[in-house]
C-alpha cells in the first residue's frame, strides 16, 4: 500500500459534465464518487466489471465493508492519494477478482470528490503462473523460446533466446518484439510480422545475424495461442538454428568434390536430386539416408526418386520443388512419417541453375520424433501445473473465506458480550455464549476436516474397526440435526429396517460420514424433504441419504469429490463450506471397504447410497 502525503489538492474550476466527458480513459475501470460515496461518473469498463451505475453507492463494489471503511478513512486523512492491492467481490456479477486500486482526492468547483482508478491483476498473475511452470523445463531443454502477450510485448524468454539475440533479460522483458525484430529483419519482412500480429496468425521467417562471426541463420516461427475457450491471446516464438543447413547448401554449390565429403558427415538425412525436364533424378545422398531407405547409391544414380523411395515422400518432394519454382522462395518444408513411425522435418532448398534444362535440389530430413515427444510431455506438464495452480487458488480462496467468517463473528460476539457486561444485561450473555460456541464449533470442524483429508491423502489414517449397529448411529445423528431441519421448514423422513444392521467399521469415522452427508443434504435443500434410511440386500447394508435440494450437474460430480471443491467456486458462491464434507465422506467410505454411489440431477435433488458388507458375527 502506497501513500502520498501531499496536502496540495488538484483544483478544477471549469464546469464539467461527467457523463459527456469523453477524454476520461475507458480501457480500465474508473469511477468518481462524492463524499457520500455516491457514484457521479463511471466509465463503461467499470459498469461492465461491477454492474453499478451513476447514483449507486460505491459499497456495491465489494461485499466486504472494510473497503468502504478504507475510503472513509482516507477522506478524513490529509493524503492526496492512496494505492493498494485488494480483492473485490461483487454479489451482482457473482465473481471475485484481485485489483490494484489508486484513489485520488480532487476538488471540482469547490466540491471534494474521489477518483478510483482500478486495474485487474488477473492477467499479470496468469502470465506469472505460466512462466513459473515452464521456466525450468525450457531452460533444461535449451530451446530458444519466447512468449509474447497480445500487444506483442515480451513476457518470457529462455536463456537460449537471450544468447540468439545477444541481449539479456533486463533488455528484453516488456519490450515490443516488433521493435527488436527491426534490428535484424528487412522492412518487407517486418511488415509481414506486423500483419501477422494484426490478423492473429502464424509467421515464419529465416533471418541472419550479420554482426555475429561466423554469420548465423535462424528460422523464427511465431504461433498464436488461445487459452482454452477464452479470448486471452499469447504468442509463442521458437527459433531453430539453420546455420549449419545454410552453410552446407553453399558449400555444395561451390564444389561437388567437397559435397561428397561433407554430406556423409551430416547427422540428418540428406538427398540431392537433379531436376531434368520435370523429373527429379537421384544425384547423391549421405549414408544415413541410404541406410534408412536401404539403398545402394551406385545402382540408382540418375533414377527417378519415385522408383526407390516411398510414393508419399516423392510426391511431397515434387510438390515442394514446384512451390520453390512458383514462389521464388529460398526453401520449402514438409513433414514425413516413415514406416518405422519416425517423423522427419524435411526442407527442400535449391542451388542456382547450372544449365538451361536442369537444376539441383537438396532435401534434408531431420528426425524430430524425440522433439515431438518432448513437446507433448511439456504440454501435459503445463496442463497439470495449471490444474495444480487452480486447486491451490481454490483452496486459498475457500480457506480465507471459511476461516475469516467465524472469527469475525467471534470478534463481534466478544464486543457485544463486553457491552452487555458493562450495561449489566447478564440475561443475554448465555444466548451470546451459545452462539459463540456454535461459531467456534464450525471453525473447529473445518480444521478437523482439513486434517482428516490431509491424513487420508498421505495414507496416515489408522482405523479402529468394531462391529457397529449403523441404525443406532443414524438415529442419534437424526436427533441432533432434527432442530435444524425443522428450523428450515423441511420434512425429515427416517426409514430404518427393524433388523440390526451390524457392519465392521471405525465408529468415529462412520459417524463423521453420516453427519457430513446429512449436513450436506440440509445445507443444499431449500424446500421439500430430507430422507435417510437403511436396507438389507443379500449380505450388504445400504444406507441412503436423499434430498430435494439444488442437485449437482452430472458433469461436475467427479470434480466435487476432490478436496476443497464445490460446484460453484469463489466468495460469491451461494452456499458456505470449504468443499470438504462430501470428499471426506467419499474417501472414508472407500477407506473402510465400503461402496459410494451418487445420483443427482440439477434442481431436482441428490441421492447418495453407501454400502457396507454385513458383519459375520
| Angle at CA of residue 611, ends 610 and 612, nearest 5° | 130
pLDDT at 4: 47
Cβ partners under 8 Å of residue 155, min gap 6: 127, 131, 147, 148, 149, 173, 174, 234
In angstroms, the Cα distances linking 354 to 282, 302, 359 are 16, 17, 6
pLDDT at 26: 72
CATH number for the segment(s) 462-613: 3.30.565.10
pTM: 0.36
The count of other CB atoms within 10 Å of the CB of residue 294 is: 7
Q: Domain 245-367's class?
A: alpha beta
Per residue in 192-226, pLDDT (tens digit) is 999 999 998 999 988 877 666 677 888 899 999 87
- Identify whether the C-beta of residue 131 lies closer than 8 Å to the C-beta of residue 155: yes
- Identify whether the C-beta of residue 588 lies closer than 8 Å to the C-beta of residue 598: no
With 0-12 CB in 10 A as exposed, 13-18 as middle and 19+ as buried, what is 369?
Answer: middle
Buried b (16+ CB within 10 A) or exposed e, 162-183: bebbeeeeeebeeeebeebbee
Among 145, 146, 109, which Cα is nearest to 18's? 109
- State how far the Cα of 155 lies from the Cα of 496, in Å rounded to an integer: 63
- Identify whether the C-beta of residue 389 lies closer than 8 Å to the C-beta of residue 381: no
- Identify whether the C-beta of residue 611 lies closer than 8 Å to the C-beta of residue 594: yes
Among 68, 174, 173, which Cα is nearest to 116's? 68
pLDDT at 351: 73
Spans of the chain below 70 pLDDT: 1-25, 62-65, 88-96, 123-141, 210-213, 227-231, 251-264, 352-358, 387-388, 390-409, 411, 413, 424-460, 559-560, 562-579, 617
Q: And the C-alpha cell for 4? A: 502520498
Distance separating the N- and C-terminal Cα atoms of the chain:
67
| Angle at CA of residue 268, ends 336 and 375, nearest 5° | 60
Give the CA diameter of the chain.
Answer: 113
Among 258, 9, 214, which Cα is nearest to 113's? 9
Q: Which residues pair with 153 in a beta bridge?
A: 176
Among 604, 597, 602, 609, which Cα is nearest to 558's? 597
CA 583 to chain centre: 23
Topology of domain 124-241, CATH? Beta-Lactamase (3.30.450)
- State how far the Cα of 81 lies from the Cα of 87, in Å rounded to an integer: 19
- State how far the Cα of 545 lies from the Cα of 516, in Å rounded to an integer: 11
The count of other CB atoms within 10 Å of the CB of residue 199 is: 10
Among 319, 344, 323, 347, which Cα is nearest to 333's? 347
CATH 3.30.450.20, applies to 2-120: yes
- State how far the Cα of 612 lies from the Cα of 513, in Å rounded to an integer: 13
Per residue in 430-481, pLDDT (tens digit) is 666 666 666 666 666 666 666 666 666 666 678 889 999 999 999 999 999 9
- State how far the Cα of 545 lies from the Cα of 148, in Å rounded to an integer: 52
Amino acid at each position: 500500500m502506497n501513500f502520498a502525503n501531499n496536502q496540495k489538492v488538484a483544483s478544477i474550476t471549469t464546469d464539467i459534465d461527467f457523463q459527456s466527458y469523453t477524454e476520461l480513459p475507458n480501457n480500465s475501470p474508473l469511477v468518481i464518487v462524492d463524499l457520500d460515496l455516491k457514484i457521479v461518473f463511471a466509465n463503461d469498463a467499470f459498469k461492465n466489471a461491477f454492474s453499478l451505475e451513476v447514483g449507486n453507492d460505491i459499497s456495491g463494489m465489494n461485499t466486504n465493508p472494510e473497503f468502504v471503511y478504507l475510503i472513509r478513512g482516507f477522506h478524513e486523512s490529509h493524503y492526496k492519494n492512496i494505492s493498494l492491492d485488494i480483492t473485490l467481490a461483487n454479489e451482482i456479477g457473482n465473481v471475485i477478482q484481485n485489483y490494484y486500486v489508486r484513489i485520488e482526492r480532487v476538488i471540482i468547483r469547490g466540491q471534494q470528490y474521489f477518483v478510483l482508478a482500478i486495474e485487474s491483476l488477473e492477467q499479470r498473475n496468469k502470465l506469472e503462473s505460466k512462466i513459473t511452470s515452464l521456466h525450468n523445463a525450457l531452460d533444461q531443454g535449451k530451446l530458444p523460446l519466447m512468449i509474447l502477450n497480445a500487444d506483442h510485448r515480451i513476457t518470457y524468454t529462455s536463456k537460449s533466446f537471450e544468447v540468439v539475440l545477444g541481449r539479456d533479460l533486463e533488455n528484453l522483458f516488456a519490450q515490443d518484439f516488433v521493435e527488436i525484430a527491426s534490428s535484424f529483419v528487412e522492412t518487407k519482412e517486418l511488415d509481414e510480422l506486423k500483419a501477422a500480429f494484426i490478423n492473429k496468425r502464424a509467421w515464419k521467417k529465416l533471418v541472419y545475424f550479420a554482426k555475429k562471426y561466423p554469420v548465423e541463420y535462424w528460422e523464427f516461427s511465431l504461433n498464436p495461442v488461445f487459452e482454452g475457450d477464452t479470448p486471452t491471446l499469447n504468442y509463442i516464438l521458437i527459433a531453430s538454428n539453420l546455420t549449419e543447413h545454410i552453410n552446407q547448401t553453399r558449400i555444395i554449390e561451390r564444389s561437388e568434390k567437397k559435397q561428397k565429403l561433407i554430406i556423409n558427415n551430416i547427422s540428418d538425412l540428406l538427398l540431392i536430386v537433379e531436376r531434368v525436364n520435370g523429373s527429379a533424378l537421384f544425384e547423391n545422398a549421405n549414408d544415413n539416408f541410404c541406410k534408412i531407405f536401404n539403398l545402394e547409391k551406385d545402382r540408382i544414380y540418375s533414377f527417378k526418386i519415385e522408383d526407390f523411395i516411398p510414393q508419399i515422400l516423392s510426391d511431397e518432394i515434387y510438390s515442394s520443388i514446384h512451390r520453390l519454382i512458383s514462389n521464388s522462395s529460398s526453401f520449402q518444408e514438409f513433414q514425413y512419417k516413415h514406416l518405422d513411425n519416425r517423423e522427419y522435418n524435411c526442407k527442400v532448398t535449391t542451388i542456382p541453375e547450372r544449365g538451361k534444362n536442369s537444376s539441383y535440389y537438396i532435401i534434408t530430413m531431420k528426425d524430430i520424433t524425440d522433439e515431438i515427444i518432448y513437446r507433448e510431455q511439456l504440454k501435459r506438464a503445463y496442463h497439470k501445473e495449471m490444474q495444480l495452480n487452480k486447486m491451490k487458488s481454490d483452496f486459498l480462496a475457500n480457506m480465507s473465506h471459511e476461516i475469516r467468517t467465524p472469527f469475525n463473528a467471534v470478534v463481534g460476539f466478544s464486543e457485544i458480550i463486553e457491552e452487555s457486561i458493562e450495561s449489566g444485561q447478564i440475561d443475554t450473555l448465555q444466548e451470546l455464549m451459545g452462539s459463540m460456541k456454535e461459531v467456534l464449533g464450525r471453525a473447529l470442524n473445518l480444521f478437523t476436516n482439513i486434517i482428516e483429508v490431509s491424513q487420508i491423502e498421505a495414507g496416515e489414517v489408522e482405523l479402529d474397526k468394531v462391529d457397529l449397529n449403523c441404525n443406532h448411529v443414524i438415529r442419534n445423528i437424526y436427533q441432533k440435526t432434527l432442530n435444524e431441519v425443522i428450523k428450515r421448514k423441511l420434512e425429515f423422513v427416517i426409514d430404518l429396517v427393524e433388523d440390526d444392521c451390524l457392519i465392521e467399521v471405525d465408529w468415529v469415522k462412520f459417524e463423521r460420514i453420516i453427519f457430513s452427508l446429512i449436513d450436506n443434504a440440509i445445507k443444499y435443500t431449500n424446500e421439500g424433504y430430507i430422507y435417510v434410511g437403511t436396507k438389507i440386500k443379500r449380505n450388504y447394508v445400504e444406507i441412503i441419504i436423499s434430498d430435494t435440494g439444488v442437485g449437482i450437474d452430472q458433469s461436475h460430480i467427479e470434480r466435487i469429490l476432490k478436496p476443497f471443491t464445490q460446484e460453484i467456486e469463489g466468495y460469491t458462491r451461494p452456499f458456505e463450506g470449504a468443499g470438504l464434507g462430501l470428499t471426506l465422506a467419499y474417501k472414508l467410505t472407500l477407506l473402510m471397504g465400503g461402496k459410494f454411489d451418487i445420483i443427482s440431477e440439477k434442481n431436482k435433488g441428490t441421492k447418495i447410497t453407501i454400502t457396507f458388507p454385513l458383519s459375520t458375527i
